[in-house]
Structure 1
Amino acid sequence: MKFATNKKIINEIKTDCLMISVFNDGKLRGAAKLVNNANGKLIDDFIKNKDIQGKIGQTRIIPVTGKSYKRIVLVGCGKFEDFSQKNYRKAIASALSKISQTNHKSVVSLVHDGAEKIDNPNKAYRLSRVLAESWHSISYQYTTTKKSNLRKLDLRKIEIGTNGKKAIKDLKTGLEHGDAIGKATKLVRHLGDLPANICTPTYLVSVARKIMNKNKSATLKVLNEAQMKKLKMNSLLSVTAGASEPAKMIVAEFNNGSKSQKPIVVVGKGITFDTGGISLKPSNKMDEMKYDMCGASTTIGLMQMVTELNLPINAVFVVPACENVPSSTATLPGDVVTSMSGTTIEVLNTDAEGRLILADALTYAQRYKPKLMIDMATLTGACVVALGAHHSGLMSNSDQLADQLFQCGQSTDDVTWRLPLTEDYANQIVSNFADVANISTRGSGAGTITAGCFLQKFVGDYDWAHIDIAGVAWAEGANKGATGRPMGLMSEFLINESKT
């Protein structure tokens, strides 16, 4: 897809489709008013006859003659007073989805015109970035094991129009960032949707290697089980003990910032399939446990995003990847293992395995003396109970880092909600036989928080945040599939960090 800005006035725009906004009050504004007047009050007629009511995402494609554009695409944007980035995103995605079902090859969007100021740098950046991201969102297709999902897409060019105003650089930057983030998010979704017999730890290595080989500032190191054993990563190895598929630890370094800049560490949980181990999960929906590596897929997506944009940043991406399956060699409930940090762990539930692999990954990451560490994981079912499918759970030992991540979520519609990490919760994971238990032993409830408290024991004195994406990483039901979250949030954070 080619993304570009279009500085021409409406009557000079040459395109197949011209996208404009309609609000539910029926009042035409900006580009919509100009297009209406130039086409014999055609839009007024549509509104009067309720062919369009301005509901968010409602789309109508109208053929016109004698103009430099072939179609007017009316896009419902809801209440004018409530126009927001979230509603804009919904409207754009709906309209592009509708256009993608036609044979049209080009579109110019003026959905924002009359509602947002395109000459405002921040607004310009957001409007264009959302436009590019939305295309990639609606054009994602999973075809690896189902070829019939393939749809022919004729659309080749998407432009954001200024209606004669100067196209400030932020518009172009937004398109570039949105394109890179959108493509990386497609990769995240693809990796998540792949079945576990394809998307193994070894497969994740191959994908990461292909990405990192494209950038001269990037290097890749992969630890095998023998190397992990030498490093005393017994917490991670206890999870893969029952599996014949070999575990891998992917360590990708991107050094494109100044030499004095401390790296940002991103860690993603990579359980490519989670049966629960000996603490076996119920069979219902167990197939969805192929998504237990969405923290890893997001980490790999971020590798692609930062290398494609060549961000001026130093970052280390760590992916501990393995399967959690039962066998005669699997870890048993009650086993005690010694982590890389030297902390002993009583494994009371083998289905609380994500924290075990993250513990060693976070310990390993400290050798880079990072500025901060962030881990992402489909960690707890308790987070789904607490926050549903809307907010990711956010926990941190740093108020500043937590605030930054929260704001990044607000800016990208990839929202989080912070949960407390207090001593009261930490006291729930004590063990009579080890330094810490991997689940609560003193009281019930707060499973998401106690998992965060467990991880906090392995981050040393570094600023750290944990993002639990168990409720947001994939959708269930008729639209079952990976969502790509929290790519928007984390991309925003890394882009912001690259500017400091």
Structure 2
Amino acid sequence: MSHPVAIQFRETDLDALASATGRIAVFVEPGAKLSAGARRLDRLMRGALVRALGSDGAAKLKPGEALELGWPTGLACEAVQLIRLPRRADVEAARKAGAAVGRSLGAAGALVLAEGHSRAADISLGLALRAYDFVPHKTDAGPQPGAVNFMVTDPEAVAASARPMAALAEGVFFTRDLVNEPANILTTDDFAARLGAMHELGLDVEILEEPDLIKLGMGALLGVGQGSESPSKVVVMRWQGGEADAAPFALVGKGVVFDTGGISIKPAAGMEDMTMDMGGAAVVAGVMRTLALRKARANVVGVVGLVENMPDGKAQRPGDVVRSMKGDTIEVINTDAEGRLVLADVLWYTQERFKPAAMINLATLTGAIIVALGHENAGVFSNNDALANNFLRAAEAEGEGAWRMPMGEAYDKMLKSRVADMRNSVGREAGSVTAAQFLGRFVKPETPWAHLDIAGVALLTADSPFAPKGATGWGVRALDRLIRDQFEAG
């Protein structure tokens, strides 16, 4: 898997500035006193830094944005980045400042002047997240980013603050790698094996195979995968970092490794992007990896359903009726509304086995959520105001867009079927809401639950502040913060 760029925290050594290679990043605020490092740089550059600060370009910079001076006189480096950032910046600005460095990081690496900065650890996280690149399938991937040295006032204190953030970055990277992988590589077998390997981090990982799922009565999930050569699976990941008898917080993920739509086949244009239809399961996996790496003081269980939705002589047909693990029957109107069938059984299984204190599921579930919210926000649906509000606060604190959507009895009535207890699709009208209502039928009234529809935010066609185009890892940061704030022992 990809790993965060190598970052070291060192005591400030101003004598090293002249000979530093790569690029030098320095944080400035127009009108504020320059740091000692910035003053030394300005002297070495014969006043060019101060002149640049007085330019129109510098005046227009927003917090976290950079102005680059290439091949500066008096220095050996390739460039000096002047990044606008107050000494007492907020978390978002600090991470964006780090991302400005990560975006342009080359093979020669960088030296970051952050002496005395209160957000040096957050700067390092933003840098690591933006320096990510997915290159395992490129014959010539080019030079990889070099090491980054942070000059700080108290290296040990900053390193301690950055340690859980490094675990978070690795969880985000794990999620991105999974979402970016092509489906001929990331089969259900391969996906399960990658999750199973996390037992080395201290996770208890259990893989349920098709005979197990048949015995459990997971007819909804099994129906989705019956047209594929790849066997359907459910993977359970458990982290027991809290009190032994405390009910766990549960994360549930949709893991459709490739979605053709099945017999209700999708149009050819854009179908290649359906390698990302396992994004919900990938986020669950990334969060579990982060929790294990940072030794979280919480009990958390992650359960993912892994299937492939293919057209075949054995594939599920429109009009079929399947029986869920709960016992409810479902008329399959559209085989491309498959994710909710997978989640129905996994949600019920998770509640029956683990009786969670609260439960959140994630899925690239509907194109309708993209129509409603675009690519800026995930849709949040919930039966519990406290859980929904706590998640929304965590997402806002991490800069991950999320917006609460409605649910209600009128939407639920739309699921009525002529031949079964319910149908899996009602058409275009309120598509994301009726999908959430369907899932809600498999949530027990006593279980606080939220459904996150991440179809618009899991994979982007353009760069975002903390990721190159492709998989974003959306949700790992917000869910990790939610767990820290609401479910972790003090």
Give the TM-score band, short-chain normalised. Answer: 0.7 to 0.9
User: 1:89 touches 1:131 (CA, 8 Å); kept in 2?
Assistant: yes
Q: Which residue of 1 aligns with 2:108?
A: 103
Distance in 1, matches of 2:289 and 2:184, equals 24
User: 2:107 touches 2:144 (CA, 8 Å); kept in 1?
Assistant: no
Structure 1 residue 358 displacement after superposition: 0.4
Q: Which residue of 1 aligns with 2:137?
A: 145
Distance in 2, matches of 1:9 and 1:152, equals 26
Paired residues for 1:292-331 under 5 Å:
292-331=277-316
Instruction: Give the match's secondary structure for 1:315.
Output: strand
CA offsets per residue over residues 31-70 of structure 1, 9 Å max, x none? 287457655543222234557555323333564759xx96
User: 1:18 touches 1:109 (CA, 8 Å); kept in 2?
Assistant: no
1:74 aligns with 2:60: no
Paired residues for 1:8-23 under 5 Å:
8=12, 16=20, 18-22=24-28
Q: Which residue of 2 aligns with 1:121?
A: none
Q: Which residue of 1 aligns with 2:335?
A: 350
Structure 1 residue 256 displacement after superposition: 2.0
1:396 aligns with 2:382: yes
1:377 aligns with 2:355: no
Distance in 2, matches of 1:255 and 1:193, equals 29
Q: Which residue of 1 aligns with 2:440?
A: 456
Structure 1 residue runs of 5 or longer lacking an equivalent are: 119-123
1:161 aligns with 2:170: no
Q: Which residue of 2 aligns with 1:57?
A: 66
Structure 1 residue 159 displacement after superposition: 2.3
Structure 1 residue 178 displacement after superposition: 1.8
Q: Which residue of 2 aligns with 1:421?
A: 407
Judged with a 3 Å threshold, the aligned counterparts in structure 2 of structure 1 residues 48 and 273 are, in CA distance, closer, same or farther, namely same
TM-score, structure 1 normalization: 0.86
Count of matched residue positions in the alignment of Structure 1 and Structure 2: 472
Judged with a 3 Å threshold, the aligned counterparts in structure 2 of structure 1 residues 340 and 410 are, in CA distance, closer, same or farther, namely same
Q: Which residue of 1 aligns with 2:181?
A: 194
Q: Which residue of 1 aligns with 2:483?
A: 494
User: 1:58 touches 1:94 (CA, 8 Å); kept in 2?
Assistant: no
Moved more, 182-191 or 358-367: 182-191
CA offsets per residue over residues 165-203 of structure 1, 9 Å max, x none? x6795x444411221111221121111111101101111
Structure 1 residue 21 displacement after superposition: 2.8
Q: Which residue of 1 aligns with 2:124?
A: 132
User: 1:251 touches 1:319 (CA, 8 Å); kept in 2?
Assistant: yes
TM-score, structure 2 normalization: 0.88
Structure 1 residue 283 displacement after superposition: 0.7
User: 1:59 touches 1:94 (CA, 8 Å); kept in 2?
Assistant: no
Distance in 1, matches of 2:325 and 2:192, equals 22
Paired residues for 1:209-224 under 5 Å:
209-215=196-202, 218-224=203-209
Distance in 2, matches of 1:300 and 1:257, equals 19
Structure 1 residue 332 displacement after superposition: 1.2
CA offsets per residue over residues 471-500 of structure 1, 9 Å max, x none? 000012696421111212112222332245
Superposition RMSD on alpha carbons, in Å?
Answer: 2.9
Q: Which residue of 1 aligns with 2:243?
A: 258
Structure 2 residue runs of 5 or longer lacking an equivalent are: none
CA offsets per residue over residues 134-165 of structure 1, 9 Å max, x none? 2332332222221323423222x432634xxx
Structure 1 residue 240 displacement after superposition: 0.7
Distance in 2, matches of 1:82 and 1:433, equals 63
Residue identity over aligned pairs, in percent, reads 30
Judged with a 3 Å threshold, the aligned counterparts in structure 2 of structure 1 residues 276 and 142 are, in CA distance, closer, same or farther, namely same
